[in-house]
Amino acid sequence: MSEQQNTKSKMVGKQSLMFQNPPIILASASIAGKKESEGPLGTLFDEIEEDPLLGKKTWEEAESELMRKAALKVLEKAGLASRDIRYLIGGDLLGQLIATSFGIGELEIPLLGIYGACSTMGEAMTLGSILVEGGFADRILAITSSHFAGAEKQFRTPLDYGNQRPYSASWTVTGSGAVIIADSSFAPKGNEAQIIIKGVTIGKIVDYGLKDSMNMGAAMAPAAFETIKQNFEDFGVDPSYYDKIITGDLGYVGKQILIDLLKEKNFDISANHMDCGIEIFDQDNQDTHAGGSGCGCSAITFSSYILKQLREGTWKRVLFMPTGALLSQVSFNEGNSVPGIAHAVIVERR
Amino acid sequence: MEKGVGKIMANQKQGTASQVVREQDKQKRDQAYNKYVKQKTPTFSTAKNTIKAFFIGGIICTMGQAFIAYYKYMGASEDTAKAYNTVTLVFLSILLTGLGIYQKLAKFGGAGTLVPITGFANSVAAPAVEYKKEGQVFGIGCKIFTIAGPVILYGIFLSWLLGLIYYILKQLKVA
Amino acid sequence: MDYIKAFLVGGAICAVVQILLDKTKLLPGRVMVILVCTGALLGAVGIYEPFAKWAGAGAGVPLTGFGNVLFKGVKEAVDKEGFIGIFKGGFTSSAVGISSALIFAYIASWFFGPKMKS
């Protein structure tokens, strides 16, 4: 088979890729904040940071510290040093990605900074697996983070401002999640099952004209709808192909909308849909309204809970699809709607 | 008759997932989606919130009444007493904001804390306390009015405009 | 009696605003602007002042009262000093409210830091 034929057959359908030599997930790490530790997944995170400032002077530095710790933790769990990682692909919610730049700079790993809002983990893992499977990297680190205070300050209001949050508002997760994706040749010897990335579906910007910055779930649901639909079409599968179809932070409101929209296309995902934003907090006891959000939400849920289920064999194949809202304060104030995007990664146990 | 019925039926079908998915025209689809989302998004139990706001707002205003009475008792004129009341309420609001208590009260009371001048004071204190990390000039200095600025701008502008109209009317009456 | 009026009127204004906040997509910042402007307008057409005299702090403490004070200040300045009063009256009458907020907020920044929500 010629090189050209090889490359051609990896492109599947309109927006997807199927890897012939699927990269493996070597290790994962999750660092979470206090509120997250008090949630349903609290015991699964690698480390909990009780101090919201993590001993630093500002919220932004605290988020950088979260990232740094997540990166170091995932290296430790993989038994690797930073020099073993060819590229680090990561991003965060802060302007100009300062949490990432100041967080992982000292690790001296070549950096590809990306912005996907809350879909960053999906985007990072997508790009990472493409680089590895294409032979452009042997091991990469995909990482992202978010911090409640930093996000609130940038996108909403200063923390001490006394306001009531509407029911549709979500709670930005304080946490950082990281995974190391490597070429399959790095799989440890032995009978242990490997977690592989079988394929990806790269999302388009989808904007159904919603202008409510306090209802992110509804703003992103169309993007999730279109990427999932495209994934089914490109790969020629239906919802039952996956044990779980996992969105990042659609929350309770967005979840319902997504299920409704897909039903119109004769895809019923109500049985196996899961949302990280819903799983990460206890709605009744933690007063988190629509659920968790932020880059960290999908990242730490994936790195802890989802991978655990895959490793233990509870699930065999999942579609991991974080969703992002690509607005800014300026775009919103200038009267624009909220464009959404969703990137899907097929993660399988083999 | 048939046209009317058709219109009613069309209105009923608007704002459903079905219409959103089937609509080819982007503008119409977006409109349908907005309507659909409104139906799907639950709102707070307004009754409970309204009662809480009524209660908290009432208490703050009663406190104001008490302060005014106290300052008058101490010998101040009506206007001076009101001024001292403003200072007192602003001070208390900012102190409670600094201590982290005001935010909890606001979560409970909603408009009850937003509407009185205490809401204004909190909206100046919150940025001051948050942005000090970005420096005295470019942090606090530039951003202290980030929430309250519009209140001052439009309050001053509107009263200026109304004053201008008043002035003109006065001139017309005299002339 | 004064206290009961203050409680009921103040509470009622807050209750109406709460309904506005819950039922519309209005953000708190916009609501504050609406309140001030409403107060100024009602003051200008001569409704708010008698209302404030009757209700006391129930009408004075809410931001609508602040708006009324702004117009009152401009009106009195125009009566006393003519045209230039239009430019003087607003800030003069609101001086106490704005100064105290600004000054105490700045001093607060010396002692307090932002608190993480839980």
Which residue among A185, A220, A254 closes a domain? A185
In this structure, the strands spanning A317-321 and A344-349 are antiparallel
Tell me the pLDDT tens digit for each residue of B56-113.
999 999 999 999 999 999 999 999 999 999 999 999 999 999 999 999 999 999 999 9
DSSP for residue A346 = E
Distance from CA of A160 to the nearest CA of B (A): 5
Of A149, A158, A214, the CB nearest to C116: A149
Which residue among A185, A217, A252 closes a domain? A185
Tell me the pLDDT tens digit for each residue of C16-51.
999 998 888 788 889 999 999 999 999 999 999 999
The structural domain count of chain A equals 2
**C64 domain residue, yes or no:** yes
**C117 domain residue, yes or no:** no
DSSP code per residue over C98-112: HHHHHHHHHHHHHH-
**C116 domain residue, yes or no:** no
Residues of chain B positioned with their CB less than 8 A from the CB of C112: 97-99, 129
The structural domain count of chain C equals 1
Q: Inter-chain contact A264–B18, Cβ cutoff 8 Å?
A: yes
Phi, psi of A187 (to 5 degrees): -60, 135
Phi, psi of A157 (to 5 degrees): -135, 165
Sequence spans of domains, chain B: 2-40, 47-144, 147-175
Domain that residue A210 falls in? 197-349
Domain that residue C25 falls in? 2-111
Confidence check: pLDDT of A6 > 70: no
Q: In 3-state terms, what secondary structure has residue A304?
A: helix
Chains near A with 3+ CB pairs less than 8 A apart are B, C
Q: How far is CA A163 from CA A69, B130, C15, in A?
A: 33, 15, 15
Are residues A67 and A102 located together in one domain of the fold?
yes
Quick one: average pLDDT of C73-95? Answer: 95
**A3 domain residue, yes or no:** no
**A129 domain residue, yes or no:** yes
Are residues A334 and A201 located together in one domain of the fold?
yes
Residue A1 pLDDT grade (very low, low, confident, very high; cuts 50, 70, 90): very low
Residue A289 pLDDT grade (very low, low, confident, very high; cuts 50, 70, 90): confident
Are residues A245 and A324 located together in one domain of the fold?
yes
Which residue among A163, A185, A207 closes a domain? A185
**C95 domain residue, yes or no:** yes
**C118 domain residue, yes or no:** no
* pLDDT at residue B5, rounded to an integer: 47
Higher pLDDT, B41 or C94: C94
Are residues A155 and A226 located together in one domain of the fold?
no
CATH of the domain at A92: 3.40.47.40
Q: How large is the ipTM?
A: 0.93
Confidence check: pLDDT of B13 > 80: no
**A14 domain residue, yes or no:** no
Q: Inter-chain contact B41–A168, Cβ cutoff 8 Å?
A: yes
DSSP code per residue over A168-217: T--EE--EEEEEEEE-GGGSPSSS---EEEEEEEPPPPB------TT-HH
**A6 domain residue, yes or no:** no
CB C13 within 8 A of CB B60: no
